[in-house]
Structure 1
Amino acid sequence: MTTILVTTHAITGHLRYATPLVRELVAGGHDVLWYTGRAFESLVVGTGAKFAPMSTRAGADAGAADALQSAPGRAGGVGGYGATVLEVFVRPVPAFVADIDELIDSFAPEVVVSDHSFLAGMFAAERRGIPQAVFSTGALHVSSVDTAPYGTGLPPARGPLGRIRNRLLDQLVRRVVMREPQRAVTRIRAALGLPPLDGFFFSWPQQIVDRYIQSSIPQFEYPRRDLPDSVVFCGPTRLDGLDAWARPAWWGRIAQARAADRPVVFVTQGTAATDPENLLLPAIDGLADEDILVIATSGGRDPREVLSADRHPANVVLEPYIPFTEVLPQVDLMVTNGGFGGVQTALAHGVPLVAVGNSEDHMENNARVAWSGAGVWLKKERQTAERIRDAVRTVLTRPAYRARAREMMTAYERFPDGAQAAARLVLDTAASRGRGAA
């Protein structure tokens, strides 16, 4: 049995995407303690792991909800993203480290696993000499001479001029856009007695951890000639069975539509950026007169509150939630705000995408959709009905998008169980240096 401390931000997407990994570790007979926000106690306990709540000194009381819900800069763009990074991901680090220090003393973990953005878990393990792994719950953060900095939403640029562009953008992001977060996290490391690190702090995890477990596939990521050896692709984790769900009475309409050669389009609002005026309602309005069946989810909100009866088109069904793995095998296209798990699950099922928005980390996921050729990206956070309708028509009528999505599906099939692969990597990390607590 291995004692494993998991540390994650109190953000729905981060926890849900890590949940299959934690379940796999618990099922293997290992002792797992999961440190995160109090609002997620039931999710943690449901995995079989022990729950360790963030303390009030870390700004996470019992009523805490998603940290991103009230973060600045939710409108999107690089500047807004920088403000969110400072307030949510950097400033709380010292308080989180104090919490984790106490857990290390009492639990004596043989390995610490942090989500890719949870610097406190990495810093605490580094200070104590404990083997550690990062489990990524988003697109790859690693800086490279071949890519623009993470957070810009820019695809790779080839050749010498592209590398010059990337270097200049790296300087701009690190010294201007992310100047305050960069300075703040540098001061935090010094105050914790940790040595200084080079480069943009988004790439510090690759300098700190033993393994960086990237929960996607190489084909979803931009090529990097200088990818660190610590980065290992494990494939996406499967979110099947995380929530109780039964097929609704209207489910037979899907088979009827497919039998009549009517396209089936799935529209998802996501779990974090849930303003229906941005994506959901424009999509419903834009597709109301199309000869398609629209299946939409409201991000957990009551559909009657989101869409009034007089605005509800006959070709639309709206549910609070539908598991991706239930609906995606049945659809021809997904319209999404670009959540990491949803995008990967769609591509793993060979479903092309219309990706909408540039908030949070979604700009990077959506940029990869466009770069892969498996969909189109509508960059503005708030879309019009006409633009979504035109994008849906484009993807449905041009076979190249479906063909590319099918190619991606074949690539995903080479990674059949991301949670199992990630669990093996975590245990290998623990074994690589033995019990390391100083």
Structure 2
Amino acid sequence: MAVSARVLLTCLPYYSHLVPVLVPVAKALRKAGHAVAVASAPAMADELARHGVEHVPLPHVRTLEQLLADPAVLASPGMPGAEDEEAADTARAREEPGALTKAFAGPLAGIFARDLIAAAERWRPDVLVRECNEFGGYLAAVKLGLPRAVLDIAPFTAAHLPFLHDTLNAELAALGAAPADDPLRPNDGLLAGVVPAAWYPERRPSLRCYRTDDPGAPDDGFAPLAVAGLGTVAHTVVPEASRLLAAMALALGELPGPAVLSTGPGEWTGPRPSNVRIVPFAPQARLLGRASLFLSHGGFGGVQEALRAATPMVVLPLFADQPANARRIAELGLGLAVDPAEATPETLAAACSRVLAPGFGERAAEFARPAGDLPGFDVLAEDLAALS
């Protein structure tokens, strides 16, 4: 099949931002006969190779762990270390966007954009497609005059765009590109959602929603009553992650069935209830297809997997879009939120028991039903290629 478009995807160097959506989109583009690659940090090379997706490494882009481990980076202008440390830590754990959020739309986005512009000279994309948390792709596309689109892997982060407007315009000016008048300009063009439109409180004009593929059942046939974890980022930026994971383990131990708790990297020294499998990493999407409960921090990667699987949720929102996700889950009757400050084994066990009772599962199934009628990523691939 002849190649008809060259589509370059951009992604922050996090597993949860890359694998659930960008990798399947890249594979759909390739299957349709288009050239496709993912531009991100060199640290993502092994993960992309594992999925057989071409990687365009951006040499100066670092992972969050690398950034937070470098005092020189944290002390540079626009980074959270340049501010009061206690205030920066507090901002990370709150809903309001803080210094780190602004840094990823400011100096870090500028670094990403410059590397991407240099890479584009070699790779020659026709279209740039960014995941919504990554802003270097927006800056580079404006500078290069390329058509662009957004994979909306965290819908409520759009609420941060007015807060980031001046920061993004400063980076455009530094690149010699015209500033934007509209704070929502980064999300103009095709906005590709990955959940039914009912998730969005207000329908956005450029929004089109697509169906993500069913990941299939676990290989070993294991069917847990509950799946739990705090994702792949919280361990790095949330000091109380260990306490919350221990409370989650004990709460799961009170459930009348098997559970899986993903604890992240490092040795687990917390409680080990007999009915709970403790693992550093779990095939979450596949397990949710058989589970009756998802206990998490409310990151949208896991939320969209639970929505697809019709699995009701208990969430402990920690930062970024998670409080907004938690509110929407509650508004739609798809689960309950627990304040992390009040998350004890007892409060979590009580919330889990409530969500496992009749009502939440039925509403989750009703919400998931329209997803089957959405176009798949094969259609998204053609919609993205058509922008060229």
Question: Normalised by the shorter chain, which TM-score bucket?
Answer: 0.7 to 0.9
Q: Tell whether 2:16 aligns with 1:13.
A: yes
1:236-315 equivalence runs, <5 A: 236=212, 247=220, 251=222, 254=223, 264-274=225-235, 276-299=241-264, 301=265, 305-308=267-270, 311-315=271-275
Distance 1:140 1:184, change over 3 A: closer
Distance 1:286 1:205, change over 3 A: same
Q: Secondary structure at the match of 1:364?
A: helix
Residue aligning to 2:77: none
CA RMSD of aligned residues (A): 2.8
Distance 1:118 1:238, change over 3 A: farther
Taking every aligned residue pair, what percent have the same amino acid on both sides?
Answer: 22
Q: Tell whether 2:322 aligns with 1:322.
A: no
The one-letter code matched in structure 2 to 1:111 is: V
Residue aligning to 1:119: 135
Q: Secondary structure at the match of 1:92?
A: helix
Distance 1:359 1:46, change over 3 A: same
Residue aligning to 1:157: none
Tell me, yes or no, if the aligned pair for 2:133 and 2:154 is still in contact at 8 Å: no
1:52-201 equivalence runs, <5 A: 52-56=56-60, 58=61, 60=62, 64=63, 72-73=88-89, 75-79=92-96, 81-142=97-158, 150=159, 174=162, 178=163, 181-200=164-183
Query: Following the alignment from structure 1 to structure 2, what is the Cα–Cα distance between the partners of residues 67 and 338?
Result: 24
The one-letter code matched in structure 2 to 1:206 is: N
Q: Secondary structure at the match of 2:295?
A: strand
Tell me, yes or no, if the aligned pair for 1:13 and 1:137 is still in contact at 8 Å: no
1:306-385 equivalence runs, <5 A: 306-308=268-270, 311-380=271-340, 383-385=343-345
Q: Secondary structure at the match of 1:247?
A: coil
Normalised TM-score (structure 1):
0.74
Normalised TM-score (structure 2):
0.83
Distance 1:86 1:327, change over 3 A: same
Residue aligning to 2:73: none
Report the count of equivalent residues.
362
Q: Tell whether 2:362 aligns with 1:422.
A: no
Query: Following the alignment from structure 2 to structure 1, what is the Cα–Cα distance between the partners of residues 338 and 297?
Result: 10
Q: Secondary structure at the match of 2:289?
A: helix
Residue aligning to 1:28: 32
Distance 1:54 1:385, change over 3 A: same
Tell me, yes or no, if the aligned pair for 1:295 and 1:317 is still in contact at 8 Å: yes
Distance 1:198 1:382, change over 3 A: farther
Summarize deviations over 1:123-152 as a string: whole Å, max 9, x none: 22222222221112212545xxxxxxx25x
Alignment partner for residue 406 of structure 1, among 349, 365, 371? 365
Larger radius of gyration: 1
Tell me, yes or no, if the aligned pair for 1:26 and 1:32 is still in contact at 8 Å: yes
Tell me, yes or no, if the aligned pair for 1:339 and 1:365 is still in contact at 8 Å: yes
Tell me, yes or no, if the aligned pair for 1:75 and 1:381 is still in contact at 8 Å: no
